[in-house]
Amino acid sequence: MLALCITLYLLLTLILGYLASLKVKNTADFVVAGRSLPLFMAATVMFATWFGSETIVASPAEFVEKGVLGLIQDPFGAALCLFLVGFFYARKLYSLNLLTFCDYFKIRFGKKTELLSALLIIPSYFGWIGAQLVALKIIMGTVLGIDEYTGLLIGAALVTFYTYIGGMWAVSLTDFLQTFVIIGGLLAVLVGILIEIEDLSILLQAPAHKPDFWNLTPKELDLPSSMTYLAAWITIGLGSIPQQDVFQRVMAAKSPKTAVQASHVGGLMYLSLGLVPVLMVWAGIQVYPDLAQKGENLLPTLVLNHSHIAIQVLFFGALLSAVMSTTSGAILAPASVLGENIIRHFKKDISDKHLLLTIRISIIFVMLFSLAMAIWKPNIHELVAQSSIFSLVSLFVPLTAGLYWKKASPVGAFLSMCLGMIAWGIAEFAFAEAAVPPLIWGLLGSGLAMWCGSLWEAARNK
């Protein structure tokens, strides 16, 4: 019964992808849905940006192990990102009427910086997509009973197909449907678990061996603890701001006001609904203590072994929805950059028809690389963190400086991207266990290079 319902749901998703493909007439339709999404759709696609494997599978496991501090990166940091996008970035970027995030670097800093930004942003998605594929593998194995590699291939093929034919329109329509499935499914499972608990006050009790379980800040505010805490907030909180998938959702809105409102509504939805899987797991452990040893399989195991078939259908439908919506947007983003900012960079006379075909073919290549990542490093939390760090240390400073600092220059932006990556890479290799996390060194290096490079260029041009 469960397998049949999930199969039918997958078929419905493919049908939506086909219907979305009928609206694709050109590259702009495919990449940014013709800049026509109303608020209710723009907000759901913004919410669905990262509401996937990290939120439903990895974050609850982090919470069980580390307490509230395990939630800083996600959902708190991810929600922070959407709020910051709405307050400081959405209106400014929307007014530029661009196709990709890297187009911004072209008009602000020149073609060399555009190309470098594209070369940096594309690989940052492989880990993110890989994390979603790992979750799809878990779902396929749990629900359909198939081996992990078959599950990976089936999940990857389904998402690739409907994204390939429908682009951002397919992402938007499926996200809209999947958001309602996510909300209904998660809330139904949560209510079912809470009913089994006679005294809900036990949910507020910290484990005996973890007295700081509910602390929002580290108990010791020494340098290592403070830097680790800061890194958790900014990994996704700042690192995901300069990403193509967020940019596409901003640009897909029908107006600047809608883009801003969608970011805020999406952030509120993410923050509130992102805590539901955590509460589900915490409540489940009070009833079934042995579940605490299941790690990232904790929530699927809880639902499969301790709930009614109707609840299972709702939960796995929600989980599948969340993962597929995140995956589709994530593979479209680097594929769009590859076509618009790399292929077009070297083939300037490419027609819109051939550019659209190039982006579609790029979707397949992005998925293949991401499959390799999922097989090589099958830990969801680590894959997600690495993808956000990549853009944090290389692209966040040039984006922000370009929007808010008039002296920001092409030399400063180029050096910022390079030195940020170099500083992070050296720290990751040589000082990974030091008091200051490598991503902090990368961010500082990026900021210093932007400042020095821009002032040097301004002095040279006097």
Give percent of the chain above pLDDT 90. 29
In terms of residue numbers, what domain contains 87?
Answer: 2-404
Q: What is the pLDDT averaged over residues 272-284?
A: 88
Q: Name the band, by pLDDT with cuts 50, 70 and 90, for residue 269.
A: very high
Q: Are residues 174 and 240 in the same domain?
A: yes
Task: Find out whether 274 and 51 touch, Cβ atoms under 8 Å.
Answer: yes
Q: What is the pLDDT averaged over residues 221-245?
A: 90
Name the most confidently modeled range: 17-26, 52-61, 129-138, 342-351: 342-351
Q: Are residues 313 and 422 in the same domain?
A: no
Q: Hey, which residues does 253 pair with through a beta bridge?
A: 37
- Computed over every residue of the chain, the mean pLDDT equals 84
Q: Are residues 250 and 332 in the same domain?
A: yes
CA 227 to chain centre: 23
pLDDT reported for residue 107: 94
Distance CA 90, CA 93 (A): 5
Q: Are residues 411 and 332 in the same domain?
A: no
Residue 116 has pLDDT above 80, yes or no: yes
Burial of 190 (0-12, 13-18, 19+ CB in 10 A): middle
Name the most confidently modeled range: 98-107, 311-320, 325-334, 440-449: 440-449
Q: What is the pLDDT averaged over residues 443-452?
A: 96
Q: Are residues 26 and 69 in the same domain?
A: yes
- What is the DSSP code string of 175-221? HHHHHHHHHHHHHHHHHHHHHT-S-GGGGGPPPTT-TTTT-SS-S--
Domain boundary pick from 381, 404, 427: 404
CA 207 to chain centre: 31
Cis status of the peptide bond prior to 75, with omega within 30 of 0? yes
Task: Find out whether 189 and 315 touch, Cβ atoms under 8 Å.
Answer: yes
State the number of CA atoms in the 13 A half-sphere of 351 facing the CB.
Answer: 3
Q: Are residues 168 and 61 in the same domain?
A: yes
For 199-208, 255-264, 304-313, 377-386, which range has the lowest pLDDT when averaged over its residues? 377-386
Residue 36 has pLDDT above 70, yes or no: yes
Q: Are residues 356 and 328 in the same domain?
A: yes
Give the number of residues written for the chain.
462
Q: Name the band, by pLDDT with cuts 50, 70 and 90, for residue 208.
A: low
Q: What is the pLDDT averaged over residues 246-251?
A: 88
Is residue 253 classed as helix, strand or coil in its secondary structure? strand
Three-point CA angle 59, 64, 65, nearest 5°: 95
pLDDT reported for residue 177: 75
Domain boundary pick from 367, 383, 404: 404
Higher pLDDT, 301 or 268: 268
| CB neighbourhood size of 102 (10 A) | 29
Residue 450 has pLDDT above 90, yes or no: yes
Q: Name the band, by pLDDT with cuts 50, 70 and 90, for residue 103.
A: very high
Q: What is the pLDDT averaged over residues 439-446?
A: 95
Q: Are residues 353 and 288 in the same domain?
A: yes
Count of domains observed in the chain: 2
Tokens, residue 89: 């970035």
Q: Name the band, by pLDDT with cuts 50, 70 and 90, for residue 417.
A: very high
* 402 backbone φψ class: left, alpha, beta (φ>0; ψ -120 to 50): alpha
CATH of the domain at 28: 1.20.1730.10
The tokens 């940019």 sit on which residue?
247
pLDDT reported for residue 202: 80
Distance CA 118, CA 147 (A): 36
Using one digit for the tens of pLDDT, what is the confidence trace for 348-389?
A: 788 888 888 898 999 999 998 888 877 776 666 566 666 778
Q: Name the band, by pLDDT with cuts 50, 70 and 90, for residue 442.
A: very high
CB under 8 Å to 303, separation ≥6 — which residues? Answer: 189, 311, 312, 315, 316
pLDDT reported for residue 382: 63
pLDDT reported for residue 395: 94
CA 47 to chain centre: 10
pLDDT reported for residue 115: 93
Q: Are residues 302 and 450 in the same domain?
A: no
Q: Are residues 400 and 457 in the same domain?
A: no
Distance CA 368, CA 442 (A): 29
* 434 backbone φψ class: left, alpha, beta (φ>0; ψ -120 to 50): beta
Q: How far is CA 172 from CA 164, 248, 332, in A?
A: 13, 11, 12
Using one digit for the tens of pLDDT, what is the confidence trace for 126-164?
A: 877 887 888 777 777 767 777 767 877 887 888 888 788
Nearest to 319 by CA among 11, 5, 56, 14: 56
Using one digit for the tens of pLDDT, what is the confidence trace for 194-203?
A: 887 878 888 8
Q: Are residues 286 and 204 in the same domain?
A: yes
Q: What is the pLDDT averaged over residues 45-60?
A: 78
pLDDT reported for residue 397: 97
Tokens, residue 125: 């998605």
Q: Are residues 459 and 356 in the same domain?
A: no
Domain boundary pick from 386, 404, 422: 404
